[in-house]
Structure 1
């Protein structure tokens, strides 16, 4: 009975508008998460979850992979984890996505396929297809499919602009319950090889627009310092990335949410 009551409270917390998002929407890799949830202009494996157009930056005939996890409220049952891989082909790249949130009584799973390619040296487009499965104990399971589109444009070598729309058509998941939708636009400014500054606006149709700002600073060749903030509701993020071997790095940090508290997270990336 205690397990049932605890599980019920968790499901209510997930569904409550206070959380400002579904368990698996949106999904961020650890780097984007620690940079305030920004990454519309990211490329290669860093763009897998944030903008499919970024897959056009995947190295040809090269596999990259990344995995990350975060624990919300400090409760193991509310752990969100994702894993993904990319493969470069000619002027573009493919990506595979798999993410999971929850526990045995309530679980959300997302699986996706993405592709991005260059139209010109400075302009890229991409698309991703995602399936959402929701399994709740004593209730019917659901599985829904949607898609998204993205673009990236290089204004000058130091300044890149990106835009993304996810699930552009209103799709009903259950009675009076719909798949989340997202429209995002932003820019990335790189004044030097050691600094990246991101600024984006994300609009989820069910919630107020969120302004997200992130920064990454590389004080040394193997070390990255990441910072970020977001509005509606307020979030502050901080973390570090360290290259432990050639093309392999690990990241760790946390997000402080003004209502939900601290969410620690870790990740690994092989490029």
Structure 2
């Protein structure tokens, strides 16, 4: 039997930038959009790859490690993501492949993820999840994003009808000027109440250094983060506090394989 709390990890956004913004990531166009909203990988203009690590509450078993890559072409952008969560008692792993295409002011994408959940003493189960996403520039500097995760309601076990979470999310982001980004998002797991997320990002030091902060209503979590860009390397860190659940730490590193 698999707990709902553990299965909920399947739809958790990846990347320290998203974490610093309170996971208000549905409108973001970056490397980690390959997991957060596949349509957003159209904003990646050169080959990129990155790694991400997250720990919650200081517990080793609550650690996520992920890899991602995006390859843009004239025919569309292709993305791949891998992740693992847990320890020898409970292990959750995934491998995903997606494609996105930009049509004028609109971007659309689709992705398939293969998940494997293993529980010591209960064996393991695999499931296939299909997701679609879209982004659009409504007016200059105002963007809309929407993402539907696990549309097929993939089943892991017949016992108690255990399935991967099916999640719908939509949001807006606005840049009143180039260095400032404001993002808001509503997320709805079909089995639970909706949650609100919001974040703010400000670039300083000639775009080399970025500060972020965010909020997640469901867990009353405050998040803070920072990003540093050095030539072709981008490093992001985020910290979250959800008392009494404890603190979370997020670190991601991305590399551009060609000059912008």
TM-score when normalising by structure 2: 0.92
Local SS of the residue matching 2:57: helix
Q: Tell me which residue corresponds to 2:239.
A: 254
Unaligned runs of 5+ in 2: none
Q: Does 1:197 align with 2:182?
A: yes
Q: Could you list the per-position Cα deviations for residues 118-137 of structure 1 after superposition, in whole angstroms to 9, with x for gaps in the alignment?
A: 12x10111001001101111
Q: Does 1:72 align with 2:60?
A: no
Q: Tell me which residue corresponds to 2:195.
A: 210
1:91 is displaced (CA, Å) by 4.8
Flag the structure with more relative contact order, 1 or 2, with Cα contacts below 8 A and sequence separation at least 6.
2
1:42 is displaced (CA, Å) by 1.3
CA distance in 2, matches of 1:91, 1:259: 48
Q: Tell me which residue corresponds to 1:94.
A: 78
Q: Does 1:83 align with 2:67?
A: yes
CA distance in 2, matches of 1:228, 1:44: 18
Conservation of the 8 A alpha-carbon contact between 1:39 and 1:46:
no
CA distance in 2, matches of 1:50, 1:141: 25
1:1-271 correspondence to structure 2 within 5 Å: 15=3, 17=5, 22-59=8-45, 62-119=46-103, 121-174=104-157, 175-176=159-160, 177-220=162-205, 221-243=207-229, 245-271=230-256
CA RMSD of aligned residues (A): 1.8
CA distance in 1, matches of 2:30, 2:201: 17
Q: Tell me which residue corresponds to 1:7.
A: none
1:179 is displaced (CA, Å) by 1.1
Conservation of the 8 A alpha-carbon contact between 2:10 and 2:164:
no
Conservation of the 8 A alpha-carbon contact between 1:24 and 1:100:
no
Runs (4+) off by over 6 Å:
none
**Aligned residues between the structures:** 253
95-104 or 70-79, larger mean C-alpha shift: 70-79
1:178 is displaced (CA, Å) by 1.1
Conservation of the 8 A alpha-carbon contact between 2:16 and 2:225:
no
Conservation of the 8 A alpha-carbon contact between 2:232 and 2:255:
yes
1:23 is displaced (CA, Å) by 2.9
TM-score when normalising by structure 1: 0.88
Local SS of the residue matching 2:78: strand
CA distance in 1, matches of 2:67, 2:154: 26
Taking a change above 3 Å as real, the CA distance of residues 36 and 51 of structure 1, as seen in their structure-2 partners, is same
Q: Could you list the per-position Cα deviations for residues 49-84 of structure 1 after superposition, in whole angstroms to 9, with x for gaps in the alignment?
A: 21111122232xx31012111111101222111110
Taking a change above 3 Å as real, the CA distance of residues 96 and 147 of structure 1, as seen in their structure-2 partners, is same
Conservation of the 8 A alpha-carbon contact between 1:29 and 1:49:
no
